[in-house]
Amino acid sequence: MNAVGIDLGGTSAKLAVVDSEGKILQHRKSVWDRREAVDDILVPLIAELKDILRSTQEGGSDVAGIGLSTPGYLNDDRTGIIYAANLQMLNGFPLVKTLEEETGMRVMMDTDVNAGGLAEAVLGAGKDFKRVLFVSIGTGLGGSLIVDRKLVRHTRHGIGHLGHIILQPDGEICGCGNRGCVETLVSAQGIHRIAEKILPHYPTSILYEYSRSGKKIEALDIYLAARDKSDTAAVEILQQEGAWLGLALYNFCAICAPEVIVVGGGLSEAGNFILDKARDVLNERLNPDLYGKVEIKQSHFGVNAGVVGNAVNVMQLIRKNIT
Ligand SMILES: [Zn+2]
């Protein structure tokens, strides 16, 4: 069985035909020149979608359905977006109905963190475990829980807002209005803040020069400086970020009791510099009598977790309807 996964972002969409093993058979990208009206997004997206469906069918393969994830808040029945700051023209628009009418196929919509988690739990780094917590760290931090290869939905769509657990009551102000949420520390903005505090103590660091030139330091810059140049400041920044991540994961374990935590999203590119420290902090605090052993793994699908997970999501739905 094959399905199309669509990972809709703020400025572009990734589309892929994925088989039931998670292998990407074809992929495309739809980029929008304008983002003012619904059609600025939908016209190029639907053209790309029809093209990928046509070429798959011409190649002799069938597509069972289409899975789609979007940023923002979805409505209760997951047929459209209530609010997405970066895709405001789609707020309230019947996205699923429109795509179903245009393609004649079943379309299933979900949040991006649910899609990524499903990909990892069913086919990726969490596939050998029963209870998988997926944590995606990028601009913000989100999580999804998958038990027995099925998404847990005890709030409207998932397991609540892990990024807004408070780690530091007197910390920085979060977008939600509170102070010191996980997201203010463990995210792209969090690592940037840590870098700004640490770098003045390391004036010989290549990152210090970089920051003085007015460039914004990204997680990948820090990772590369640590890996390729053994830059002491870069290692220190990643370790501090890893320590906050470990503390956050401990709190997530207390809520979700996973057997494995799969870390994905942009910040996971910094890999083991962050994850090793997070493992140490988690293991120091974790009571094995309560939680057993909890593994931390890096995402298997990386930037493709969204498209693969969306395809898995619709394949699961169709299989359920068949059997
Ligand atoms: Zn918050």
Q: What is the pLDDT of residues 66-95, one digit of tens each?
A: 999 998 889 999 999 998 888 889 999 999
What average pLDDT does this structure show over 175-182? 95
Q: 127-299 falls under which CATH superfamily?
A: ATPase, nucleotide binding domain (3.30.420.40)
What average pLDDT does this structure show over 27-50? 92
Neighbours of ion ligand 1 (CB under 5 A): 164, 174, 176, 178, 181
Percent of the chain surpassing pLDDT 90 = 73
How far is the centre of ligand 1, averaged over its atoms, from the C-alpha of 111 (Å)? 18
How far is the centre of ligand 1, averaged over its atoms, from the C-alpha of 180 (Å)? 7
Residue 314, pLDDT score: 95
pLDDT for residue 207 is more than 70: yes
Per-residue confidence band for 308, with pLDDT thresholds at 50, 70 and 90: very high
What average pLDDT does this structure show over 248-275? 90
The rounded mean pLDDT for the chain is 92
How far is the centre of ligand 1, averaged over its atoms, from the C-alpha of 166 (Å)? 7
Per-residue confidence band for 323, with pLDDT thresholds at 50, 70 and 90: very low
pLDDT tens per residue, range 219-240: 888 988 998 878 999 999 999 9
How far is the centre of ligand 1, averaged over its atoms, from the C-alpha of 164 (Å)? 4
pLDDT tens per residue, range 277-293: 999 999 999 998 888 89
How far is the centre of ligand 1, averaged over its atoms, from the C-alpha of 181 (Å)? 5
pLDDT for residue 155 is more than 80: no
How far is the centre of ligand 1, averaged over its atoms, from the C-alpha of 28 (Å)? 34
Tell me the three-class secondary structure of the chain, residue by residue: CEEEEEEECCCEEEEEEEECCCCEEEEEEEECCCCCCHHHHHHHHHHHHHHHHHHHHHCCCCCCCEEEEECCEECCCCCCEEECCCCHHHECCCHHHHHHHHHCCCEEEEEHHHHHHHHHHHHCCCCCCCEEEEEEECCCEEEEEEECCEECCCCCCCCCCHHHCECCCCCCECCCCCECEHHHHCCHHHHHHHHHHHHHHCCCCHHHHHHHCCCCCCHHHHHHHHHHHCCHHHHHHHHHHHHHHHHHHHHHHHHHCCCEEEEECHHHHHHHHHHHHHHHHHHHHCCHHHHCCCEEEECCCHHHHHHHHHHHHHHHHHHHHHC
How far is the centre of ligand 1, averaged over its atoms, from the C-alpha of 135 (Å)? 16
How far is the centre of ligand 1, averaged over its atoms, from the C-alpha of 51 (Å)? 41
pTM more than 0.85? yes
Q: Into which CATH architecture does domain 2-117+304-322 fall?
A: 2-Layer Sandwich (3.30)
How far is the centre of ligand 1, averaged over its atoms, from the C-alpha of 98 (Å)? 34
How far is the centre of ligand 1, averaged over its atoms, from the C-alpha of 179 (Å)? 7
CATH topology identical between 2-117+304-322 and 127-299: yes
Q: Where are the domains of the chain?
A: 2-117+304-322, 127-299
Per-residue confidence band for 322, with pLDDT thresholds at 50, 70 and 90: low
How far is the centre of ligand 1, averaged over its atoms, from the C-alpha of 171 (Å)? 11
pLDDT for residue 16 is more than 50: yes
